[in-house]
Structure 1
Amino acid sequence: MDEHETLVAHVSDTARWAAACRALESARQDPVFTDPLADRLAGERGYAIVAGGPRFGRTGWWHSVRAKLFDELIMMALRSGCDMVLNLGAGFDTRPYRLDLPADLVWVEADLPELLAEKELLLGGETARCLLTRRPVDLADPDARSAFLDAELADASKALVLTEGFVYFLSDTAVRALALDLKRPEIAWWGVDFWNAAMHRIMAASTNDLLRSAPIVFAPRAGIAHFEALGWTPLEIHSIFESAHRLRRLPPALRPIAYLPQPNPRKPSTRPLSVVARLACTDTTRR
């Protein structure tokens, strides 16, 4: 086993990567958010993954900007009456501890049992700002996922589903199944991030087999139209590159990208596209 396989031996290790990036952002003099728990969750391995990742991403800017966009999406949903957040593939996310959330908000984290058990251990003694529950479940198992959604949504009326950093590791078929399973009247919004095939090629080349044991699979050529075809309407689409420029996080070598017209998120493109989107579904018929 080589060094890169050791660093990311399983998709769960990407949670350490994201936590390390949040910790790097929090240590800045001008952070776009602060996450005092991120360093603890990242551990030495998380920082090693950052160091072994793409050279242009070693400041953690991409993960930090994505996290900030999801923060904004969540707060928007709360202002619009959201009564539950379902965080699918929650990893080492700490938003229930760091965001200004209503004390009566129901927040459910779902992920693999081993990862959630480690997270419980690392965050022992910490108090969430909302009604936080963790549910061990294999979200890639359609039956387990459906049973989880049936149970958790029983008391919800306007839920927000988050899949930050999750769909990248699913096949097109699995993403389609997830999109159809989320078409429920209790779910008002779906927050999702993805990139196109051009961005996928860049990342595949720049990670130098770092993700060999946890390959990124989903990179829809049709972009957001992939979700529209499944009955999901985009309410907001935010380019991570444009947002990074707005937040002053785009590395100097990539800044020219921000001044170019961004690729159409609904059409294939030879230019890299990476977005965070808020989707809504008016047709809740699951096919």
Structure 2
Amino acid sequence: MPNASLELSMRLEGSQETLLITLYAKAVDNRAAPSILHDALADDLVRRIDYDFERFGLSGYDIRGLALRSRVIDNWTRAALQARADTLVLHLACGLDSRIYRVDPPLDVDWIDIDFPAVIQLRRDLLPQRLGRYRTLATNVMEPDWIAKLDNERPVLVIAEGLFPYLDEQHVRELMRRLIDHFPQGGQLLCDVYGRLALRMLRNARMIRATRARIGEWGRNGAAELENWHPRLQFVDEPRYADLPEVRALPWSQRLLFRIYDRSRWLRDLGGVVRYRF
């Protein structure tokens, strides 16, 4: 990998720059004891990139929450590939996420990391080469043509972590319709969903204001109504964070926060990570 010293704010625009928020959270989590995600590659990237990550003002709960969200999606991804090794993985708005390296699927698994051209170029500049059937696709996920070119004779796993808040509801609906209609063999969707109040809070969060990213416009209940958007889309589950072994290993004060979240329907309605099938 090249030794990078980059002024990334000159290369990334708006929501693209938010990829550095999750990258930094995973790096700081890796330095913690215990770590939730153990993402040493994210830690290495943050140490090599010339950027003022402190400007995001991430709290300890932000860092643990983002790392835990990724851990849950990693676990669901492994489970999906164990159940059907021929699954096509589509990682939408992948940013600089090292999920392909954390999950480390067999080399014959078809995995596509998808993001804007500037972001994909950063991945090629900064991340190690991955062999096998891994590839990247440099495109805006809302472009209409790329989905039709995908093999649809097998199941698909769609990972959309940290994507939906930056799109308007009508665009997410259209994206989901295109994906589900294109894959008659079915599949799964792993994503984080947010209510309208949570999106308003996110819009005013320091980390978002620091990047000037635009938060999308949603209806009254936001993405919490995702299951109603397509007749084939069905809710499967969402994690109870306090029950996860990674959380049970945390200090009691941090465990308490996740326990409160799990027991509060109001908090969980604000948003969380969810698994669907179609």
Shorter chain as denominator, the TM-score bin is 0.7 to 0.9
Map of 1:163 onto structure 2: 160
- Is the contact between residue 157 and residue 186 of structure 1 (CA under 8 Å) also seen in structure 2? yes
Which residue of the other structure, out of 146, 151, 154, is the alignment partner of 1:153? 151
TM-score (ref. length: structure 1)? 0.78
Three-state SS of the structure 2 residue aligned to 1:185 is coil
Residues 260 and 280 (structure 1 numbering): CA distance in 2 closer, same or farther, change over 3 Å? closer
Shift of 1:195: 2.0
Matching residue's letter, 2:192: D
Matching residue's letter, 1:236: D
Map of 2:136 onto structure 1: 134
Residues 235 and 217 (structure 1 numbering): CA distance in 2 closer, same or farther, change over 3 Å? same
Residues 24 and 260 (structure 1 numbering): CA distance in 2 closer, same or farther, change over 3 Å? closer
Matching residue's letter, 2:148: D
Shift of 1:76: 1.4
Which residue of the other structure, out of 96, 101, 113, is the alignment partner of 1:97? 101
Map of 2:3 onto structure 1: none
How many residues are aligned here? 265
Distance 1:81 1:260 in 2: 33
Shift of 1:48: 3.0
TM-score (ref. length: structure 2)? 0.80
Residues 96 and 248 (structure 1 numbering): CA distance in 2 closer, same or farther, change over 3 Å? same
Map of 1:120 onto structure 2: 124
Q: Deviations over 1:6-45 (max 9, x none)?
A: 9985211111221111111122232222222213433677
Residues 238 and 218 (structure 1 numbering): CA distance in 2 closer, same or farther, change over 3 Å? farther
Residues 92 and 250 (structure 1 numbering): CA distance in 2 closer, same or farther, change over 3 Å? farther
- Is the contact between residue 41 and residue 119 of structure 1 (CA under 8 Å) also seen in structure 2? no
Identity of aligned residues (%): 19
Map of 1:13 onto structure 2: 17
Residues 29 and 108 (structure 1 numbering): CA distance in 2 closer, same or farther, change over 3 Å? same
Tell me the C-alpha RMSD between the 2 structures: 3.3
Distance 2:12 2:103 in 1: 28
Moved more, 177-186 or 199-208: 199-208
Which residue of the other structure, out of 159, 166, 169, is the alignment partner of 1:172? 169
Higher helix share: 2
Three-state SS of the structure 2 residue aligned to 1:278 is strand
Q: Deviations over 1:83-102 (max 9, x none)?
A: 21111111111122222312
Q: Which runs of 5+ in 1 are unaligned?
A: 282-287
Three-state SS of the structure 2 residue aligned to 1:238 is coil
Residue 275 of structure 1 pairs with residue 272 of structure 2: yes
Q: Deviations over 1:59-118 (max 9, x none)?
A: x11210111111111011112214211111111111222223122111001110111011
Shift of 1:212: 6.0
Residues 253 and 44 (structure 1 numbering): CA distance in 2 closer, same or farther, change over 3 Å? same
Distance 1:163 1:215 in 2: 17
Distance 1:255 1:218 in 2: 32
- Is the contact between residue 120 and residue 138 of structure 2 (CA under 8 Å) also seen in structure 1? yes
Which residue of the other structure, out of 42, 47, 52, is the alignment partner of 2:46? 42
- Is the contact between residue 168 and residue 217 of structure 1 (CA under 8 Å) also seen in structure 2? yes
Matching residue's letter, 2:141: L
- Is the contact between residue 16 and residue 95 of structure 2 (CA under 8 Å) also seen in structure 1? yes
- Is the contact between residue 239 and residue 275 of structure 1 (CA under 8 Å) also seen in structure 2? no
Which residue of the other structure, out of 45, 53, 58, is the alignment partner of 2:57? 53
